[in-house]
Structure 1
């Protein structure tokens, strides 16, 4: 499976920086509390300096959402939504050990991290504008059709694995207890994105290897 950004997306958002990890041998057994706490503490330290909306990483995605014609306070990028919840509650719900680590790292860097079960992706995965015929599976068990022109993660079968780019992931390829192979996608829009994404990737690989014998 290949992951790409459509040339039109790259032309519209030249500031985009992205990286991926293919991780195999995932299990749902490890206790990742200590690993995740390290990154959550880093997120808390950043939030102590001001609200998440003022972080340059979040501000850059807000500008991107505005460019896409979305209200950034109505549709928030995933790390902004997570940071808001973390600031209010001081913790995040546990979903799956791998997702818990990815969420914690995402909060520490304020950069979106998407995790897809590769067995549920048909063919290649591309970030592109929707044509208006794709299908999106909600976590409530409903099926939606993204609006034409909306930025989605689409596979070759027309499944939309995320809507509004980094706003909302599909239930179709969400990580399950039986998941063993995943694709992790990291995307940033801010000025120091290349440096920060490289650092995030290194931290994430180290954190994952504390709990799984993974092959990238």
Structure 2
């Protein structure tokens, strides 16, 4: 069964240059981070440095035109992009620092590598943990976002007008692609996942499509026999 993904008219009006590509995969094999995944992350950091023309370590990648576009959209819905960075910018900043990229689990490492190499926000959700379809909306401020703070489960609420991904049970990711909730996260037990690659103009749609093809190829390599489908890009332009 194909997972339903919808983008509200309010979000399309806010970001007319928004495009997303989804990859739905079943029969995945996940596990702890390994040497192969780590090598992909290291290579992604090198590709990022080349993309940024050898920009010195520790320098913020926010001047990249795609990252600048995300900052403008974050500002438009009331978030401070220097404090709440989109996921690609946050990962890129780590990749260019001494800290380097985190190792989470194999599936997450794969999509993080593609995100960094292409400077595209990429997220992954466990389909078996999603309640109904997924929707990208502007929040009312009453939606529940279940997260963990200080080791304890807590419920937060997005700001009114904030762009969030949600399902029938509540918010799955706040501030568009800033912070994912633990409920739908990819874990080492995940066997079915949806991967979302998100871009804004001026990034060409062809580049998002190429990044999706790269990620689909990696998923196939690391989960032989998995059923993997890449959906056509959906644009609000």
In structure 2, what is the Cα distance between the partners aligned to 1:203 and 1:114? 15
Give the whole-Å Cα distance in 1 for the aligned partners of 2:204 and 2:146. Answer: 31
Task: Identify the match of residue 161 of structure 2 among 137, 144, 149.
Answer: 149
Q: Report the counterpart of residue 127 of structure 1 in structure 2.
A: 136
How far the C-alpha of 1:34 sits from its partner, in A, is: 3.1
- The TM-score normalised by the length of structure 2 is 0.85
TM-score, normalising length: structure 1: 0.92
Structure 1 residues 174-196: Cα deviation after superposition (integer angstroms, max 9, x where no partner): 11111111111111013133121
How far the C-alpha of 1:90 sits from its partner, in A, is 5.6
Q: Distance in 2 between matches of 1:209 and 1:44?
A: 27
Matched, 1:181 2:192: yes
CA contact (8 A) 2:163 2:174 kept: yes
Aligned length: 215
Name 2:180's counterpart in structure 1. 169
**How far did 1:89 drift?**
2.1
Shift of 1:122: 0.6
| Superposed displacement of residue 35, structure 1 | 3.3
1:46 aligned onto 2:51: yes
- For residues 20-45 of structure 1, give each alpha carbon's deviation from its aligned partner in whole angstroms, at most 9, with x where no partner exists: 01111222246423333332321132
Shift of 1:138: 1.8
Q: Is the 8 A contact 1:17 1:193 kept in 2?
A: no
4+ runs of 1 displaced by more than 6 Å? none
Residue in structure 1 matched with residue 22 of structure 2 by the alignment: 20
Could you give the per-residue CA deviations for residues 40-91 of structure 1, whole angstroms, max 9, x where no partner exists?
Answer: 3211323423641111111110111111122211111011111111111262
1:63/1:49 Cα in 2 relative to 1: closer, same or farther (>3 Å)?
A: same
Asked whether the 8 Å contact 2:122–2:197 carries over to 1, the reply is yes
1:201 to 204, 209, 212: 212
Q: Report the 3-state secondary structure (helix = DSSP H, G, I; strand = E; otherwise coil) of the residue aligned with 1:127.
A: strand
SS in 1 for 2:102: coil
Runs of 5+ unmatched residues, structure 1: none
